[in-house]
Structure 1
Amino acid sequence: MNDEASAGADADWARERRRLLARAHCIVIKVGSAVLTDADGLALEVLDSLAAQMAVLRAPGAGDAGGRRIVLVSSGAVAAGRAALASQGIDARGRDLAVRQAAAAVGQGLLMRAWDRAFRPHGVATAQVLLTRDDLRSRSRFLNARNTFAELLRWGVLPIVNENDTVSVAELKFGDNDCLASLLVNLVGADLFINLTSARGVCARDPQADPGAPVLARIEDVARLDLGRLCGAKTAVGTGGMRSKLMAARRAAQLGVPTLILRGREQDALTRAFGLVDEEGAEAPAGTWVDPARHAIPRRKFWLAYQSDPAGSVTVDAGAAAALMREGGSLLPGGVCEVSGSFQKGALVRVEHAGQPLGVGLTNYSAADLRKIMGLKRHEVAAILGDAHYPDVIHRDNLLLDAAV
């Protein structure tokens, strides 16, 4: 591509980005611990700045639909709790689960009070929502949660969401708030995901190894990124890091939703990104825009794929891999050559080939039964399991290829 064509493509992309920002009416904004906290606990001036900017985004006339609805995913409870406990001479550092959960119990109230104080001058009412993965894994609870968020947003209340760290056990944890935020994009029907972090954006190379690596202004296909080359270490106070942010962006992209990754402490980062700063010559902040996928997946498939962590895996042969990837087929028993893990019928499992992940899906067979019938044809399966068997190990309607897990 020559320079003139490249400039034209950049201009087209910039216009498309402005269009998508202008029409966004429901936004999930996630703020990381490294943005909200410092050595003394919550950085209240940062919360004040972000609350003021979100109030501007919500104001009537700020968006095409007359103001935007915002769902805020806020980290910082554990860090706030540790700082408060340290002031009492209690050492709550360390990665032990019980210590983290106890620190979260102390810090969650402090975090909500700080946000409520920050939003109050702008006339914005807030609501606390604490979730575990089980709240989204159960379809009935998922729908109840969706209805609750819809009512809060209809009232003009700003939901502030965090993982319910105090009661979460390992199998019910989201892992980090990047994951939680990406699942909320589906739950609330958001059309934009903003991730505020301590980094400048996504760097072209691992910034830990190459501090001078430039920031990528745009990622056209997040699924094709080499995360090992791009991602450095986690932040000192958080649980995520750029890898988890890109995985979250990848999930959002599958829904047809773009992601904007910004440095949260940059002056007026949010309002400048939307062109809502009155200062003459104010430019959009540096950061990374992640394009949505051209073809969005059904939201039901999204829910099935990310409702829980995979309980095991099935390895398929080359013929089955081709049928899944190129022909949109279902996975049959004859294509399975290895089963890993112990899982029951209906579990979410990984599908792999030659050591590479292909996707995830809901299995019609337990691991024990699948080991009995893998590699067999349909009549051979019937001879072992009887007539009450399924023709597919995973039906294509219950399979998501290229899943971000």
Structure 2
Amino acid sequence: MHVDDTSDWRDAKRRILENCERVVIKVGSAVLTSDRGLDLRVVNRLADQIAVLHDKGMEVVIVTSGAVAAGRRAIMHCKGCRDEGSLPARQAVSAIGQSRLMHEYDEAFFRYGKTTAQILLTRADFEDRARFLNARNTLRTLLDWRVIPIINENDTVAVAELKFGDNDTLASMVLSLVEADLFVNLTSAKGVFSENPEKNPAAKPLPVIEHIADLDIEAMCSGKTAVGSGGMYSKLLAARRAAQLAVPTLIVSGLTPFALEKAFEDDESGTLVLPAEHAVSRRKFWLAYHTRPAGQVWIDQGAATALRDRGKSLLAAGVTRVENDFNEGSLVRILDFQGQTIGVGLSNYSGKDLQTIMGLKTDDIARVLGPGLYAEVIHRDNMLLDPAL
């Protein structure tokens, strides 16, 4: 969906809100917490607004932060408990805070006759296809039962290599998991600005972003919020992933009173990120983002043109450099001759074998590695161009 000369972004937003049936709402730590820990007033106001949407028949999935902040508040009264910043300490604090966070959500929604369910996920739950589908089936059942799933990362068991890093990334993955048609990201900022407003007070607010794939997100964003782990950079990256799924994003201030209610009443605050005109398949989305790339493959200009402009698969002849000794079937990052990431995909060859055959014509691969091997290094069906990494 794109606005043109005969329509206005406000009309596009109105249509999006009118047609929304399933929404993922992400709530950041900077919204949910204060210097005293979890802010119960915010939790209750949020439940109030979400209950209104739910009563209108909308299916709502919440991706929430706040467990660590709630845990830190709790251990203030615990003798011998110290959060020294290590991974085990942070995981312990999260374990303490998660039950408290969920208790407050339960209490807040119970006042409106709503049932909630806690879902804790790690990247491994997305990486394993069977676990991914099982999580999807569970969430579908909960939504059919008119339950409000509340999702957080399972910090207690996730190792550093399998962490999402921030809940913006997790929320973008949940969009595909539940097949949502709208993403609302509640943050401490009043939407997206042309530059970082903390560094440039003259930065202009952007009411709409039509082509997020064309934005230089790194140039626009710098710095992170004091409480959260993502900042506007990760929110725009999540919105870019959502756009690839043809899911629009609303980035609004969760600190503004009744922000969520106003957003669904066609208020013009915040930023609307329009979806891409052509959605990628959910299978390709899963392939591209289920795990971090295990290595890098550099290609020449001819191969880059073939991938970008002609939708071709990557052949060994176009590979100029291989980094890391990844396994066959691993997700790898594809870089062009200038070092720019142009895609990710599943490699048919290990890093060691690919170093042996790079630059060779397809007919020569059998002579080097033996017969019966793949013609393509990465087939186009197992490749996503322009990933939001």
**Short-chain TM bin:** over 0.9
Matched, 1:389 2:379: no
Percent identity over the alignment is: 55
Q: State the alpha-carbon separation in 2 of the partners of residues 116 and 10 from structure 1.
A: 46
Matched, 1:268 2:270: no
Contact kept? 2:221, 2:233, Cα under 8 Å:
yes
Matched, 1:316 2:306: no
Aligned pairs (5 A) from 1:1-400: 9=5, 12-59=8-55, 62=56, 67-88=57-78, 92-275=82-265, 284=267, 286-353=269-336, 354-400=338-384
Q: State the alpha-carbon separation in 2 of the partners of residues 11 and 377 from structure 1.
A: 50
Q: State the alpha-carbon separation in 2 of the partners of residues 223 and 15 from structure 1.
A: 22
Structure 1 residue 87: Cα displacement = 3.1
Structure 1 residue 13: Cα displacement = 1.7
- Backbone CA RMSD of aligned residues: 1.5
For structure 2, the 5+ residue unaligned runs are none
Q: State the alpha-carbon separation in 1 of the partners of residues 127 and 284 from structure 2.
A: 13
Contact kept? 1:314, 1:338, Cα under 8 Å:
yes
Contact kept? 1:208, 1:232, Cα under 8 Å:
no
Structure 1 residue 222: Cα displacement = 1.0
Residue type of the alignment partner of 1:387: P
Residue type of the alignment partner of 1:328: G
Q: State the alpha-carbon separation in 2 of the partners of residues 253 and 91 from structure 1.
A: 43
> TM-score scaled to structure 2, two decimals?
0.97
1:380-405 CA-to-partner distances (Å, cap 9, x unmatched) read: 21111111211000000000000011
Q: State the alpha-carbon separation in 2 of the partners of residues 212 and 121 from structure 1.
A: 43
Q: Which moved more, 1:230-239 or 1:73-82?
A: 230-239
Q: State the alpha-carbon separation in 1 of the partners of residues 179 and 261 from structure 2.
A: 22
Q: Which moved more, 1:296-305 or 1:232-241?
A: 232-241
Contact kept? 1:196, 1:264, Cα under 8 Å:
yes
Residue type of the alignment partner of 2:366: A
Q: State the alpha-carbon separation in 2 of the partners of residues 294 and 159 from structure 1.
A: 29
Residue type of the alignment partner of 1:309: R
Contact kept? 1:82, 1:107, Cα under 8 Å:
yes
Which residue of 2 is the match for residue 279 of structure 1?
Answer: none
Structure 1 residue 146: Cα displacement = 0.5
Residue type of the alignment partner of 2:194: A
Contact kept? 2:224, 2:231, Cα under 8 Å:
yes
> TM-score scaled to structure 1, two decimals?
0.93
Q: State the alpha-carbon separation in 2 of the partners of residues 326 and 11 from structure 1.
A: 30
Instruction: Mark the CA change 1:82 to 1:10 in structure 2 (over 3 Å): closer, same or farther.
Output: farther
Contact kept? 2:299, 2:318, Cα under 8 Å:
yes
Instruction: Mark the CA change 1:197 to 1:362 in structure 2 (over 3 Å): closer, same or farther.
Output: same
Between the two proteins, the alignment pairs up a number of residues equal to 386
Residue type of the alignment partner of 2:316: P
Q: State the alpha-carbon separation in 2 of the partners of residues 300 and 97 from structure 1.
A: 33
Q: State the alpha-carbon separation in 1 of the partners of residues 242 and 229 from structure 2.
A: 20
User: Alignment partner of 2:170: what SS?
Assistant: helix
Instruction: Mark the CA change 1:124 to 1:40 in structure 2 (over 3 Å): closer, same or farther.
Output: same
Residue type of the alignment partner of 1:381: I
Residue type of the alignment partner of 2:130: S
Structure 1 residue 215: Cα displacement = 1.4
Residue type of the alignment partner of 2:151: V
Contact kept? 2:207, 2:268, Cα under 8 Å:
no
1:104-131 CA-to-partner distances (Å, cap 9, x unmatched) read: 0110001000111111111110000000
User: Alignment partner of 1:15: what SS?
Assistant: helix
Which residue of 2 is the match for residue 4 of structure 1?
Answer: none
Q: State the alpha-carbon separation in 2 of the partners of residues 307 and 8 from structure 1.
A: 35
Q: State the alpha-carbon separation in 2 of the partners of residues 246 and 89 from structure 1.
A: 41
Instruction: Mark the CA change 1:141 to 1:154 in structure 2 (over 3 Å): closer, same or farther.
Output: same
Residue type of the alignment partner of 1:138: D
Contact kept? 1:207, 1:231, Cα under 8 Å:
no
Q: State the alpha-carbon separation in 2 of the partners of residues 398 and 378 from structure 1.
A: 19
Q: State the alpha-carbon separation in 2 of the partners of residues 112 and 74 from structure 1.
A: 10
Contact kept? 1:208, 1:233, Cα under 8 Å:
no
